[in-house]
Chain A
Amino acid sequence: MRRTIIVLFIIRISIPLFGNDYILQIQSEYRRDAIDFEDDTREYYRQKLKVCFSKASEANAAFVYDHNEDSLKYTWNIFLRDISPQFSFFAGNFYANFGKGMLVGKRRPFQRDVFKRQGEIFSGEPFIPSLSGNPYFAFHGCGMNASHSLGDFHLKLSAFHSIKERYINQQEYESRSTSSSVFSLDSYDEREKNRIEPISMHTTGIITQLCFLKLISFDVYGIYNSAQTPFGEAITLRYGIHSFKGIGCMAEYHDEFITIFSEIAKADTQFRSSDDVEINQQGFATISGILFRGAYLRASLIYKNAEKNFFSPYCATIGEYIGPGIFADVRYNLLSKLILGASVSSEKKSSTYTEKEIPSLHKEHIFLKYSSGLIHEMRAEFARIKRTSENEERYRYKGICSIGSNNFFLLSISGTTQQHSHSNNSYSFSAIATFFIEKSFKAHAMCARAWVGENNSLYEYFLPLKNSNIPGIFIRESGNIYALKAIFIRWGIYLSCRMVLEIPHVGNRNTIFEAFGSAQY
Chain B
Amino acid sequence: MISLMMSIWLSITSSAFTYRTMHPTLLFPYYRAALESDTARSLHNPAFLTQFCTFFIDMNYEKPYNLKEISAMSARAGFSLPFCGAMLTWNSFGIDEYKEETVEASFGYKIGKYATILFAPNISKLVIRTDLVDFNEYFVNYRGGISFFPFPLIEISYHQENIRSFFLKEGSDIHYPSWSVGIALRPTEGFSMSWNLNKTYFSYINTFAVSANLLKWLAVSGGYSRETSSIAGAATLFVDGIVVSYCIRYHSYLGTTHSFSATIRYGGMPLEEISYSKPIKPSCNEPINVKTCTSEDLQRIGIAPPVAERIVKYRETVGPVTKKSLIQMGLTPKEYKRISHCLFNLTNDETSKPKNTEKWNEQKWKKVRISYKQNFPFRNAETRRLLFQKLVHEGVKASSALRISELAKDLTRKKLIETIEHLSFLSESEKIAARRACAEQ
Interface residues of A (CB under 8 A from B): 17-21, 53-57, 59, 78, 80, 82-87, 89, 91, 142, 146, 163, 165, 198, 200, 230, 232
B residues near A56, Cβ cutoff 8 Å? 276-277
Q: What are 21 contact pairs spanning A and B, CB under 8 A?
A: A17-B215, A17-B217, A19-B306, A21-B305, A53-B215, A53-B274, A55-B277, A57-B274, A57-B276, A59-B214, A78-B212, A80-B274, A83-B189, A83-B190, A84-B191, A84-B280, A85-B279, A87-B187, A91-B222, A163-B224, A232-B227
**Which one, A53, A91, A232, contacts B210 given CB within 8 A?**
A91
A residues near B215, Cβ cutoff 8 Å? 17-18, 53
What is the bound-complex CA distance between A56 and B278, given in angstroms? Answer: 12
Interface residues of B in 255-300 (CB under 8 A from A): 274-277, 279-280
Q: Are A83 and B274 in contact (CB under 8 A)?
A: yes
What is the bound-complex CA distance between A234 and B43, given in angstroms? Answer: 38
B188 touches A (CB below 8 Å): yes
Q: Are A165 and B252 in contact (CB under 8 A)?
A: yes
Q: Are A53 and B276 in contact (CB under 8 A)?
A: yes
Q: Are B276 and A82 in contact (CB under 8 A)?
A: yes
What is the bound-complex CA distance between A19 and B218, given in angstroms? Answer: 14
Interface centre among B190, B277, B280 (most CB of A within 10 A): B277
What is the bound-complex CA distance between A484 and B231, given in angstroms? Answer: 47
Q: Are A80 and B212 in contact (CB under 8 A)?
A: yes
B167 touches A (CB below 8 Å): no
Query: What is the minimal beta-carbon distance from B328 to any residue of chain A, in angstroms?
Result: 21
Additional pairs, 5, CB under 8 Å, beyond known A17-B215, A87-B191: A53-B214, A57-B276, A83-B275, A85-B279, A230-B253
Q: Which 7 A-B pairs have the closest CB atoms?
A: A54-B276, A84-B188, A230-B229, A198-B252, A87-B187, A230-B252, A82-B277
B220 touches A (CB below 8 Å): yes
Residue of A nearest to B220 (CB): A78
Interface residues of B (CB under 8 A from A): 187-191, 193, 210, 212, 214-215, 217, 220, 222, 224, 227-229, 231, 252-253, 274-277, 279-280, 305-306
What is the bound-complex CA distance between A20 and B299, given in angstroms? Answer: 13
Q: Are A142 and B222 in contact (CB under 8 A)?
A: yes
What is the bound-complex CA distance between A117 and B253, given in angstroms? Answer: 45
A residues near B220, Cβ cutoff 8 Å? 78
Query: What is the minimal beta-carbon distance from A9 to any residue of chain B, in angstroms?
Result: 16
Interface centre among A18, A56, A59, A80 (most CB of B within 10 A): A80
B residues near A59, Cβ cutoff 8 Å? 214
What is the bound-complex CA distance between A232 and B229, given in angstroms? Answer: 9
The answer to whether residues A86 and B276 also contact, given A17-B217, A53-B214 and a CB cut-off of 8 A, is no
B residues near A165, Cβ cutoff 8 Å? 252
Query: What is the minimal beta-carbon distance from B194 to any residue of chain A, in angstroms?
Result: 13
Q: Are A163 and B231 in contact (CB under 8 A)?
A: yes
Q: Are B253 and A198 in contact (CB under 8 A)?
A: yes
B residues near A54, Cβ cutoff 8 Å? 276-277
A residues near B190, Cβ cutoff 8 Å? 83
Residue of B nearest to A232 (CB): B227
Query: What is the minimal beta-carbon distance from B369 to any residue of chain A, in angstroms?
Result: 41
What is the bound-complex CA distance between A59 and B235, given in angstroms? Answer: 14
Q: Are B276 and A83 in contact (CB under 8 A)?
A: yes
Query: What is the minimal beta-carbon distance from A198 to any residue of chain B, in angstroms?
Result: 4
Q: Are A85 and B212 in contact (CB under 8 A)?
A: no
What is the bound-complex CA distance between A160 and B214, given in angstroms? Answer: 21
B residues near A230, Cβ cutoff 8 Å? 228-229, 252-253
What is the bound-complex CA distance between A282 and B92, given in angstroms? Answer: 56
What is the bound-complex CA distance between A53 and B224, given in angstroms? Answer: 25
A residues near B252, Cβ cutoff 8 Å? 165, 198, 200, 230
Q: Are A89 and B217 in contact (CB under 8 A)?
A: no
Residue of B nearest to A51 (CB): B214
Q: Are B187 and A86 in contact (CB under 8 A)?
A: yes
Query: What is the minimal beta-carbon distance from A20 to any residue of chain B, in angstroms?
Result: 7
B residues near A89, Cβ cutoff 8 Å? 191, 193, 210, 212
What is the bound-complex CA distance between A21 and B276, given in angstroms? Answer: 10
Q: Are B210 and A142 in contact (CB under 8 A)?
A: yes
Q: Are B188 and A87 in contact (CB under 8 A)?
A: yes
B residues near A198, Cβ cutoff 8 Å? 229, 252-253
B residues near A19, Cβ cutoff 8 Å? 306
Residue of A nearest to B275 (CB): A83
What is the bound-complex CA distance between A18 and B275, given in angstroms? Answer: 15
A residues near B253, Cβ cutoff 8 Å? 198, 230
What is the bound-complex CA distance between A165 and B275, given in angstroms? Answer: 34
B residues near A83, Cβ cutoff 8 Å? 188-191, 212, 274-276
Query: What is the minimal beta-carbon distance from B254 to any residue of chain A, in angstroms?
Result: 10
Residue of A nearest to B274 (CB): A83
What is the bound-complex CA distance between A83 and B276, given in angstroms? Answer: 5
Q: Are A20 and B276 in contact (CB under 8 A)?
A: no
Query: What is the minimal beta-carbon distance from B142 to any residue of chain A, in angstroms?
Result: 33
Interface centre among A20, A56, A85 (most CB of B within 10 A): A85
A residues near B227, Cβ cutoff 8 Å? 232
Query: What is the minimal beta-carbon distance from A88 to any residue of chain B, in angstroms?
Result: 9
Query: What is the minimal beta-carbon distance from A133 to any residue of chain B, in angstroms?
Result: 18
Query: What is the minimal beta-carbon distance from B206 to any residue of chain A, in angstroms?
Result: 11
Q: Are A200 and B229 in contact (CB under 8 A)?
A: yes
B residues near A142, Cβ cutoff 8 Å? 210, 222
Query: What is the minimal beta-carbon distance from A44 to any residue of chain B, in angstroms?
Result: 25
Residue of B nearest to A76 (CB): B233
What is the bound-complex CA distance between A148 and B252, given in angstroms? Answer: 39
Query: What is the minimal beta-carbon distance from A154 to any residue of chain B, in angstroms?
Result: 15
Q: Are B187 and A84 in contact (CB under 8 A)?
A: yes
Query: What is the minimal beta-carbon distance from A425 to any residue of chain B, in angstroms?
Result: 57
Query: What is the minimal beta-carbon distance from B208 to any residue of chain A, in angstroms?
Result: 8
A residues near B305, Cβ cutoff 8 Å? 20-21
B residues near A82, Cβ cutoff 8 Å? 276-277
B residues near A200, Cβ cutoff 8 Å? 229, 252
What is the bound-complex CA distance between A200 and B277, given in angstroms? Answer: 36
What is the bound-complex CA distance between A230 and B226, given in angstroms? Answer: 9
What is the bound-complex CA distance between A20 and B304, given in angstroms? Answer: 11
Residue of A nearest to B281 (CB): A85
What is the bound-complex CA distance between A218 and B277, given in angstroms? Answer: 27
What is the bound-complex CA distance between A89 and B274, given in angstroms? Answer: 12
